[in-house]
Amino acid sequence: MAYTDIDKPTDYFETTTYAGGTTSITSLDFSPDWVWAKKRTGAENHGIFDSVRGATKTINSNTTSAETTRGGSLTSFDSNGWSMGGADGIISASGNDYVAWAWRGSDSSAVSNTDGSITSTVSANTTSGFSIVKFTGTGSVATVGHGLGVAPDWYVVKRYNGGDGGQWNAYHSSLGATKFMLLNSTSASQTSGTRWNNTEPTSSVFTVNTSGDVNDSGDLHIAYCFAEKKGFSKFGSYTSNGVSGNGSFTYLGFKPAFVIHKRTDSAGDWRSWNNKADAFNQNNKSLFPNTSDSEYDTTAVGVDFLSNGIKWRQTDTVNNNPSGGTFIYMAFAENPFVTSTGIPTTAR
């Protein structure tokens, strides 16, 4: 029985915490292609960087702003991490604490992809199921090659030039292609054919329709795409039970390193937890991808990171464990529950 596709998740994804003023991260086992950074101590926008758009080019998950160039931010993607100017508040200002999540893309330069009706530029890692996709919109129904070789379970698309940029439109396989979520918003899931043309992604392409956020004519768009990999990543949904201290359990098949969830049947914040902010369960420190807020530390929205999944501990009337709430989630592994050679992981 194959328990996992990836024995060592840190070859493809890693959570890193560090002090502001740091000028380089050199602790990774790979060269990252996507870095998502957030100041923990104090309000600041999320900083999202990728190798396809290029170093110093910043977009924010919590705003609709267009891309900006910040010379003091992430200055290069390196063989075992990344370098920073060491002064930019979005990624490394002295006197603050930071967290960053890093993903490995292609081990070579991004390539031109002609699988769709729009030619895209793609950095894809088919082993871990992650790709970065850049394309120019047409304003009419089109397909875009993603390079994963299997249908993605989650992707988010943003227009990053033209006017003030665009909203972060997200597809999730648990909702399907008739619905979308906004990563920068508290809104519940919405039904619209103008995002994905009511068309599920395939092993080679995803479909975009006429919405300016995902396919504005002549403007540049970026997409981050994920396909589920056993023992490494999971994208699903669950119903919360509203029981304080004994919330619902979500099986992942691995001990999580990073989890994001969002209620879909009601307005509420996106929320994320990671394995570095709290060393032990209950994990009470969380961040909001849709806001600039500092790290939130409270037992009211705590979770347990277990050897094989997540235990949603406390009752929050909207965001965490309300009775009968419907949530989607994305999760990445610290370790698989059992490796391909039969070695089990331990709980925190």
> Which residue(s) pair with 170 in the sheet?
156, 181
Chain segment 119-130, per-residue pLDDT in tens: 999 999 999 999
Are 192 and 267 found together in one domain?
no
pLDDT at residue 1 above 60?
Answer: no
Are 132 and 214 found together in one domain?
yes
Are 270 and 215 found together in one domain?
no
pLDDT at residue 348 above 80?
Answer: no
Per-residue pLDDT band for 316 (boundaries 50, 70, 90) equals: low
Q: List the one residue out of 58, 197, 208 whose CA is nearest residue 143.
A: 208
CA dihedral 186, 167, 260, 124 (to 10 degrees): 170
pLDDT, the chain, mean? 94
Burial 112-146 (b: 16+ CB within 10 A, else e): ebebbebebbbbbbeebbbbbbbbbbbeeebbbbb
Q: List the one residue out of 146, 118, 130, 122 whose CA is nearest residue 36.
A: 130
Residue 138 domain flag: yes
Residue 29 domain flag: yes
What does the alpha-carbon distance between residue 192 and residue 11 come to, in Å, rounded to a whole number?
Answer: 37
Are 287 and 306 found together in one domain?
yes
Are 221 and 252 found together in one domain?
no
Strands 179-182 and 169-172 turn out to be antiparallel
Q: What is the pLDDT of residue 128?
A: 98
Residue finishing a domain among 192, 226, 260: 226
Are 95 and 198 found together in one domain?
no
Domain that holds residue 94: 9-103
pLDDT at residue 317 above 70?
Answer: no
Residue 346 domain flag: no
Are 75 and 19 found together in one domain?
yes
Compute φ and ψ for 335, nearest 5 degrees: -145, 145
- Which residues have CB under 8 Å from 115's CB, separation 6+? 143, 145, 146, 147, 204, 205
Compute φ and ψ for 91, nearest 5 degrees: -140, -25
Q: Which helix (H) or strand (E) holds 193?
A: helix 193-196
Are 214 and 139 found together in one domain?
yes
Are 204 and 258 found together in one domain?
no
Residue 165 is encoded by which pair of tokens? 């940029």
% of the chain at pLDDT higher than 90 = 85
Count of positions (residues) in the chain: 348
pLDDT at residue 42 above 60?
Answer: yes
Residue 272 domain flag: yes
Q: What is the pLDDT of residue 144?
A: 98
Residue 343 domain flag: no
Mean pLDDT score, 331-342:
91
Q: What is the pLDDT of residue 39?
A: 98
If one counts the domains in the chain, the total is 3
Chain segment 152-208, per-residue pLDDT in tens: 999 999 999 977 789 999 999 999 999 999 999 999 999 999 999 999 999 999 999
Chain segment 258-310, per-residue pLDDT in tens: 999 999 999 999 999 999 999 899 999 999 999 999 999 988 888 999 999 99
Are 34 and 76 found together in one domain?
yes
Residue with more model confidence, 106 or 318: 106
Residue 174: burial class (beta carbons within 10 Å; 0-12, 13-18, 19+): middle
Chain segment 230-262, per-residue pLDDT in tens: 999 999 999 988 888 888 899 999 999 999 999
Q: What is the pLDDT of residue 164?
A: 77
Residue finishing a domain among 42, 68, 103: 103
Residue finishing a domain among 170, 201, 226: 226
% of the chain at pLDDT higher than 70 = 98
Q: Which helix (H) or strand (E) holds 262?
A: strand 254-263
**Residue labelled with tokens 């009775």:** 323
Mean pLDDT score, 27-38:
98
Residue 260 is encoded by which pair of tokens? 């994001």
Are 85 and 116 found together in one domain?
no
Residue 1 domain flag: no
What does the alpha-carbon distance between residue 167 and residue 323 come to, in Å, rounded to a whole number?
Answer: 30
**Residue labelled with tokens 């009706």:** 117
pLDDT at residue 318 above 90?
Answer: no
Residue 3 domain flag: no
Are 169 and 152 found together in one domain?
yes
Residue 44 domain flag: yes
User: Which range has the worst mean pLDDT, 129-133, 137-141, 158-162?
Assistant: 158-162
